[in-house]
Amino acid sequence: MRSELPFAEYTAIQDRLRADGHLDAGAGATLHALARRGLLKISEDRVDVPQVGLASRVLVELTRSGRACARAALGIPTVPRRPAYLLSEWLWRNLVRVAEAGAEGLSEDAMGGKSRFYLGTGYRPNGRPSRGYIDCHPVRVEKGRGTFVLEYRWRLTEAGKRHVNAHRSDYQTRYPDVQLRAPDPL
């Protein structure tokens, strides 16, 4: 049954719960009990509803713990987290591109997005040190009486080679769509 006021309508889930007889007057107390246990985050605000004025609104959000609790209650298996020493699929894909380029290196323009900040030597934009797996090297050309830089290319550092050699099989298992077609070991 829908509310008579347009700004106080029930959500689709509330309608379904009410139709199944699961929503009762004590729902507010239950929500606050779940919030006290860290399973929900409840906030309240006021919205301006045309032709009515300010109306109070309660917003409910599942916390990380709440989602974990719901998954456990429903028997949904958890996906194991990636160990901190392994790269995300996106970073691994970019590292593979550099590794496959070999000694020639990967063109600076071919590096994906901000991956150079997370994989390269130096610092990330937020000031934290990057991993140091790749480095940018100038390609110099002699012309006339001097030399100039033609372009910059990304190559694996020794740390990058060690990382690829140590974790190559882990990555191939974790990210089967990203296969490294370079000699083992590098």
Per-residue DSSP letter, 80: P
Residues 119 and 168 in one domain: yes
Decide the pairing of beta strands 40-49 and 53-62: antiparallel
Both 99 and 57 in one domain: the answer is: no
Q: Are 166 and 119 in contact (CB under 8 A)?
A: no
Q: Minimal CA–CA distance to 30: which of 40, 21, 19?
A: 40
Q: What is the DSSP letter of 104?
A: G
Look up residue 123 and give its two tokens: 């610092």
DSSP 23: -
Contact 88, 82 (CB under 8 A): yes
Average pLDDT per consecutive 10 residues, the chain (186 residues; last block may be shorter): 55 78 75 91 87 84 92 89 92 95 91 87 78 92 84 94 95 94 84
In which domain, by residue range, is 67 found?
Answer: 6-74
Q: First-to-last CA distance in the chain?
A: 67
**Domain end point (choices 22, 43, 74):** 74
pTM of this structure: 0.61
pLDDT of residue 41: 93
Decide if 183 is inside a domain.
Answer: no
pLDDT, residue 7, reads 57
